[in-house]
Each structure stands twice: as structure tokens, then as C-alpha cells.
Amino acid sequence: MKLYFTACIALVAIISKADDDCFSTRLGYPCCGSSNVSVESTDNDGQWGIENGNWCGIPSVVENDSCFSIKLGYPCCSSNNVSVVSSDNDGQWGIENDNWCGIPSSEKNKSECTGQNKGFSCCNSCEVHYTDNDGLWGFENNQWCGIKNTCKQTTTKKTSTKTTTTTSKSQEPTSGVPLNPPKINGGQAGSTTCYWDCCLASCSWSENTNAKHPVNAYQKDGRTIFNKFDWTIGSACSGGSGYMCSNNQPWAINDNVAYGFVAAGFSSGSQKDWCCTCQRLQFTSGPINGKQMVVQITNTGGDLRNNHFDIQMPGGGVGFFNGCSSQFGAPNDGWGDRYGGVKSAADCSQLPTEL
């Protein structure tokens, strides 16, 4: 793969300064002396780094080839409309004729706003909701949009604001998921519970979903996938040998956002419409009030009410079915209460290490 070779081949880039000076000197800041200074901040003037404890301007450079990828053994993208598929320290990469190609810097600069070359629309306002390596992002009409390049930056170079900006970088989510995602407006009311019954999910049968691939079915160890799965194998909870994946556990991205899998029920549509779709939930009560969770529907059930999301969570209660007895030797009612699951650390200690 491209990224593998990029990481393994030592390269020496031949670069030359565009000017004897750099933009920061006219603003009262020196040019960065080393070519290895990392970009700490970017604004309309240019890119800024820190050297010897002081802010410095990173000189713009011009590569002696038409684009960076030539030195790495890859062609330049010939079309102006190639989308950015990947970005690394070398530059931005696209795919053309089924091959990786480097996007010339002149093409990157043609975007009017952040993410435009990735298919995102430009924001009408300049209100920034999130910042990542691509740039500044806004949120309008329930969609992410890129902040226009013409918007005035909120950070200034001649005050202590830069110090504040540097300090706040540690608070940015490394996952790329916003720390404070936009609230859900105009959504529907629903309810959540939790379960973990070890049973095969109903969305594991291709007949139950419109998705290109159903939910994977697993053998008793919870790790080995059935390469070919059909109705003849069946769920362990009804005499078959298919189980839930032991890794279908929820995980937190940051303090405000989590991901996971659910069984769900709705008043309209069918199981085929629901299976493998994703929903964004915002909790409205309890200690997680206001926090959000993005879930994929992997299971359904006749006992689930309208807009009812039963979150897959080890120790959440086996409910009506109990496949955990045959898989892990769990008690007849599972761990903790049959409905509701564990309530203490002592209860949690009964769970197998896989969960």
C-alpha cells in the first residue's frame, strides 16, 4: 500500500525558499530556522511553528517536481476533480485509473472552503464548530460544512491567543469526532434499555436486510466467523450453533460521544428496512443526559416497542433468551438480573474475560 512504502522509504526532498524572507517577519515574528518544525497553527498569513519557545513563520516552499508524489514513485493526478482519499505528511492523495496519485498543491488551493474537494459544501456563515487537520468546520441544516477561506480567523498572532491555541490542542479529539456534537433537533422520542444474550443477531441472515452484507455470525468462541452462514446453521438460542460477536461491545470516543450496536423496534417499516442501518441517539435523562451515541441496528425483537433501542452491553441482562449459558456457562438468569443485568462491581466480576 502507498502508506506502507511512504513510511518505509527514506526520502530527501529538495526544496527551495520562495523568497529570501517569509511572511512572519513583517508581523514581527522570525522565520523558522529548521525545516523540521511542525505546523502548530494555520491562518490567512501562513503556517506557524514553535522554535526555541517562540512562534515562528514556516517559509513556503516550492518542490522541484510537479508534485510531491513523483519522488515517492507515484504519478501526479492529472484531473482537477480528483477527490482527496487520504492525507499524510507528504501531502494529499487521490485515486485515478485505480492507482494512487498525488494531488498537486496548486489544485488543493483551489477549494473555496474546508472539505470542498472531499464533497462537502461550503458554509454560509463563518461560525466554527470544529477544527481538524483539514481545517475549520461549521454545522448548518443538520449537515457538516466547510468554513470558507475568506472567513476571518478568530486567532491573532500579536497577542497571547496563540499560546491559548497551542494549549487547547490537547483537548481536540484525536478520533476526529467532535467533543461537543450538535444537538439533535426535530428528532423523535424513544427509549433505551440494555441486554447481552449471546444469541445470534437476526440481522445475520441476508434475507433480513437490504444491506450488501449481513451482520457476521460467529462460532461458540465469539471470535471465529462463519464464512458461509445460512438458515441451516441457526442461532444457538434456538438449537443452532451461531452466536453473537464478543466484540460487539459499546465504546466511548470521548466524554460526550459513544458508539455501539442495538436491537431495535419501530412502528413502521420492517426488519429488512431496519437491519444494519445507523441511528444517532441523544440521551435525555440520568447521568448521561445530553450525551450522544451512534448505533447500528444488528438485531430486532417482538418485545421491543416503538423507537425502542436495546443497547448491546455485556452484563446488561440476557432477557427472554439466554445463549450465554451454552457459550460461557452463565447462570440460568445470566449475570445479575435476567432483565437489567449486573448492578455492582461484584456482579461484573462474574463475567468472562472475553466480555
Residue 178: half-sphere exposure toward Cβ, Cα within 13 Å = 16
221 is catalytic: no
d(CA 83, CA 87) in angstroms, rounded, equals 11
d(CA 163, CA 166) in angstroms, rounded, equals 5
Cβ neighbours of residue 295 closer than 8 Å, sequence gap 6 or more = 259, 260, 261, 262, 264, 278, 279, 280, 281, 309, 311
User: Where does residue 195 fall: left (phi above 0), alpha (psi -120 to 50 degrees), or beta otherwise?
Assistant: beta
d(CA 277, CA 77) in angstroms, rounded, equals 35
Q: Which amino acid is at 103?
A: I
d(CA 49, CA 335) in angstroms, rounded, equals 54
DSSP 96-146: ETTEEEEPPHHHHTT-SBTTGGGTPPBPSS----EEETTEEEEEETTEEEE
User: Torsion angle, CA of 141/146/151/157, rounded to 10 degrees?
Assistant: 130
d(CA 241, CA 66) in angstroms, rounded, equals 58
- Which letter, b or e, does each residue of 56-78 get, where b requires 16 or more Cβ atoms within 10 Å of its Cβ? bbbbeeebeeebbbebbebebbe
Of 43, 88, 221, 310, which one is the catalytic site residue? 310
255 is catalytic: no
Of 21, 90, 98, 197, which one is the catalytic site residue? 197
| Helices vs strands, H then E, count in the chain | 6, 17
Say which DSSP state 76 is in.
B
d(CA 273, CA 75) in angstroms, rounded, equals 43
Catalytically annotated residues = 197, 310
